[in-house]
Structure 1
Amino acid sequence: MFNVKIQLILYWMSVGCCFLGTVFFIAGFIFKKDNFEKYGGGLALLAFIPLTAGLVNRWVQTGHFPYWGVYEVMMSYAWGALFFYLVVWFWKPKLRILGAFVLPVVMLMVGIAVMGSSEMKEIPRTFFTYWLGIHILFAKLSYGAALVSAGLGVIYLLKRRQEDRGRVHPFLLKMPDLTKLDHWSYQFTAFAFVMLGIMIASGAVWAYKAWGRYWGWDPIETWALVSWLVYGLSLHLRVTLGWKGRRASWLAVFALIMIVFAFFGIPLFYPSVHEHLKYAMI
Structure 2
Amino acid sequence: MTAIQMQMLNVGGREIKFNHRPGKDSACGVFWMGGYKSDMEGSKVLVLDEWAEKTGHGCMRYDYSGHGISGGAFTDGTISKWLEESLAIFNRTEGEQIIIGSSMGGWLALLLTVAHIKAIGVENSRIKGLILIAPAIDMTKDLMWDKFDDEIRAGMKATGVYEQPSDYGEPYQITLDLIEDGKQHLFGDAMIETGCPVHILQGVLDDAVPWQMAVDLVSRLARDDVRLTLVKDGDHRLSRDEDLARLIRCVEEML
Superposition TM-score, scaled by structure 2 size: 0.33
In terms of fraction of residues, the more strand-rich structure is: 2
Larger Rg: 1
